[in-house]
Structure 1
């Protein structure tokens, strides 16, 4: 997981300030447990756009892509590969 560390740090900083990043499990369901709500999802998307230069209007945005640190990592990896292929 190439982006997991940065994702964990962002999620903890924005949504779980009392949790050390290392304690956030990669598969912990952020949506089901209410860590990220609809407004939080927008924050995550903007962060991905800003940090990784991914144009989220050109990729398929599904809630499953933001369910966990692992899912967000996979989304960024896939979107980055798509950007590289189309460049």
Structure 2
């Protein structure tokens, strides 16, 4: 899981400020557990576009791709992305 630490850091900063990134389970269902709702999903997609250069109009944006840190990491791997410079 190449991008898991960066993804966990973003999730914690944006949605779970009281949880240390290291304690966030990579398999936690972020949608079913109410961490990310529909607006949060848009925020995650916008962040992926900015941070990893994902072109939202060129990839399949299905909810199952964003259910967990592991799923987001796998989505990035399939998209063949490299992180942009840290912002």
Name the TM-score, length of structure 2 as normaliser: 0.91
Q: How many residues align?
A: 81
Report how far residue 56 of structure 1 moved: 1.3
Report how far residue 80 of structure 1 moved: 1.9
In structure 1, what is the Cα distance between the partners aligned to 2:53 and 2:59?
Answer: 12
State yes or no: 1:48 paired with 2:48.
yes
Where does residue 59 of structure 1 map in the other structure? Answer: 59
Report the secondary structure of 1:76's partner residue.
helix
Report how far residue 22 of structure 1 moved: 0.5
Report how far residue 79 of structure 1 moved: 1.0
- Structure with more of its chain in helix, by fraction: 1
Structure 1 residue runs without a partner (length 5+): 82-87
Where does residue 77 of structure 2 map in the other structure? Answer: 77
